[in-house]
Each structure stands twice: as structure tokens, then as C-alpha cells.
């Protein structure tokens, strides 16, 4: 018997990268974490792209299932929820609603906010100022936040009363609204949901791994964050 944990996660400190660590910490599943260093372009290396043909993080290997490899953060969350029977309701309708909100994040919030961040925080800093693109992605992100806000009225979490993988996928992105300059003013239900998840200790512990969320994307010292990110994103790194 090996004493290695089943789950081996390859990740970095980004919104997509934190999603599986949130699950693993919340479910108290032991895991090994390998930090993929963007500044060394490790995500494009030959060994890594054999695991993840998209050359992005996160990727997960389940040693307990013939080293089954999963890429795409939503698929990793789904796999973990099924394997550990956690954070995914058993009721078929609630399960499907969880999938709906997970898809909403994967196809909407992530790509729109990712581009809003990219055009403001990376492209603009490299001399490519594109106001049309910035406006488009910021406005579309705000529109999606309004959808979330309306949906969350009277609810504790995205799918009823229980914390699910849909919340785990959406929180790291939406909570970083500040970094994408997407306002959450006038969205009280979204803000209340933030506060609820801000108070979940295990989720917050997950956001420390491999490097802290709040240092990069919290409302801290913007100049210092941008300086650090300039090094981190010196290659043409994208997020969606
Ligand atoms: N749809 C993918 C997106 C993954 C993604 O965009 N990852 C970014 C970080 S958030 C990345 O690895 N960027 C590195 C690069 O573009 O080289 C997922 O959800 O897993």
C-alpha cells in the first residue's frame, strides 16, 4: 500500500486553480499539490501537456483510479463530488440545478471576467489599451452578477440551502470582482452570499494554497499587486 494520497492536484493561485482546493479542503480529502509556475511556463511543458492538452491549470490525477487524469476545473469538481459523494445533491433535480450553475460559471462568469481582467490588468499594461473590449467584458460580467444577485434572493447558496460545487466554482471569480473592476454595488444578495462564504473557514484555508487569494485579488495595495502580477504573467498567460 502506498502512503501517497489518491488525489494529485496540479494547480496555481488563480480563480480556476483554487476551485479544486476548495473542494478538497471542505471535504477534508488528503491530496498532494504540485504548484505549476507560470513564470517558468511549466503549464506549457511537454510533461504537463501530456496530462492537460490545453496547457492550463488545474489538472488532477486520481492515483486511486488507475491514475485517471481530469482537466477542466468544472470537470474536476464534478469528478470529486461524485467520488466523495459530497457537495452535490443526490436529488436528480437539485443535481441538475448544480450542473446548471456550474455551467453558468464555466461558460459565463469565468470567460467574461477572465477577459475583463486580461484586457485591463495584462494587455493594457503591455501597451494594448482596448477600451471597447474592456467595456464589453466588464459590462457582460456585471450583467451576469445581476443574474446571480436575482437568483440568490432568499437563498443561502446557489442551489437551495446547501453549499455545492457550483458555489465553489463561482466564488473565487465573483469575489475577485474588484480585480476586474466589475461593480457589485446595488447587488445585496450577491454581497450577502460573499459574506457567507467569506466566513467558511475551510474555503478560506483553501484560498491560501498554493499562494493566498487575498494578496493578489483582495482589496489591497493595487500597485504592489500589479508589480507582482507583471512578473507572474510575463508570458502571455490567459484566464477563463
Ligand atoms: N476552462 C479551464 C480554464 C483554465 C485556465 O484558463 N487556466 C488559467 C489560469 S486561471 C491558466 O492556466 N493560464 C495559463 C496560460 O494561459 O498559459 C478550466 O476551467 O480549467
Whether 83 maps to a domain, the answer reads: no
Query: Residue 159 is part of a domain; what is its CATH number?
Result: 1.20.1050.10
Q: What is the pLDDT of residue 137?
A: 97
In-domain check, residue 140: yes
Q: Report pLDDT for 103.
A: 98
Interval 31-59: pLDDT, tens: 999 999 988 899 999 999 999 999 999 99
* Cell 487569494 -> residue: 213
Does the residue 238 lie in any domain? no
pLDDT tens per residue, range 147-171: 999 999 999 999 979 999 999 999 9
Per-residue model confidence as pLDDT tens digits over 58-91: 999 999 999 999 999 999 999 999 999 999 999 9
CA-235 nearest atom, ligand 1: 17
Vertex 164 angle, CA 84 and 141, to 5°: 135
Q: What is the pLDDT of residue 34?
A: 96
Q: Is residue 18 part of a domain?
A: no
Contact 176, 198 (CB under 8 A): no
Is residue 133 included in any domain, yes or no? yes
Q: Whose CA is nearest to atom 6 of ligand 1?
A: 239
Domain range holding 102? 92-200
Pick the atom of ligand 1 nearest to 238's CA. 16
**Residue 234 within a domain:** no
| pLDDT above 90 for 125 | no
- CA 56 to ligand 1: nearest atom: 12
Tell me which residue of 235, 96, 110 sits closest to 171, measured CA to CA. Answer: 110
Give the model confidence (pLDDT) of 167-176 as tens digits: 999 999 999 9
How many domains does one find in the chain?
A: 1
Q: Is residue 164 in some structural domain?
A: yes
**How high is the pLDDT of residue 28?**
98
Bridge-based pairing of strands 31-35 and 68-71 is: unpaired
- At 27, is the pLDDT very low, low, confident or very high (cuts 50, 70, 90)? very high
Position 59 in a domain: no
pLDDT at 230: 65
Q: Residue 137: is it exposed, middle or buried by C-beta count within 10 angstroms (0-12/13-18/19+)?
A: buried
Share of the chain above pLDDT 70, in %: 88
The rounded Cα 1 to chain-centroid distance in angstroms is 33
- In this prediction, residue 235 has a pLDDT band, given cuts at 50, 70 and 90, of low
User: pLDDT tens for residues 177-227?
Assistant: 988 999 999 999 999 999 999 999 999 999 988 777 776 666 556 666 666
Lining residues, ligand 1, CB within 6 Å: 14-17, 38, 43, 55-58, 72-74, 237-240
47 to 41, 50, 51: CA distances (angstroms)? 12, 5, 7
Amino acid at each position: 500500500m502506498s502512503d501517497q494520497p489518491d488525489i494529485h492536484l496540479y494547480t496555481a493561485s488563480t480563480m480556476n486553480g483554487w476551485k479544486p482546493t476548495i473542494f478538497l479542503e471542505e471535504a477534508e480529502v488528503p491530496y498532494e499539490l504540485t504548484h505549476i509556475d507560470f513564470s517558468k511556463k511549466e503549464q506549457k511543458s511537454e510533461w504537463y501537456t501530456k496530462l492537460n492538452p490545453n496547457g492550463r491549470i488545474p489538472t488532477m490525477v486520481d492515483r486511486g483510479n488507475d491514475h485517471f487524469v481530469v482537466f477542466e476545473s468544472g470537470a474536476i469538481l464534478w469528478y470529486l463530488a461524485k467520488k466523495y459523494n459530497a457537495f452535490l445533491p443526490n436529488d436528480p433535480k437539485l443535481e441538475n440545478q448544480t450542473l446548471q450553475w456550474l455551467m453558468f460559471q464555466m461558460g459565463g462568469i469565468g470567460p467574461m471576467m477572465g477577459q475583463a481582467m486580461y484586457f485591463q490588468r495584462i494587455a493594457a499594461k503591455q501597451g494594448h489599451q482596448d477600451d471597447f473590449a474592456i467595456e464589453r467584458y466588464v459590462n457582460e460580467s456585471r450583467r451576469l452578477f445581476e443574474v446571480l444577485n436575482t437568483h440568490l434572493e432568499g437563498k443561502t447558496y446557489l442551489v437551495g440551502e446547501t453549499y455545492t460545487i457550483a458555489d465553489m466554482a463561482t466564488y473565487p471569480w465573483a469575489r475577485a470582482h474588484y480585480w476586474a473592476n466589475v461593480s457589485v454595488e446595488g447587488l445585496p444578495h450577491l454581497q450577502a452570499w460573499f459574506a457567507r462564504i467569506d466566513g467558511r473557514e475551510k474555503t478560506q484555508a483553501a484560498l491560501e494554497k498554493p499562494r493566498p487569494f487575498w494578496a493578489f485579488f483582495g482589496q489591497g495595495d493595487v500597485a504592489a499587486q500589479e508589480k507582482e502580477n507583471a512578473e507572474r504573467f510575463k508570458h502571455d498567460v490567459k484566464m477563463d
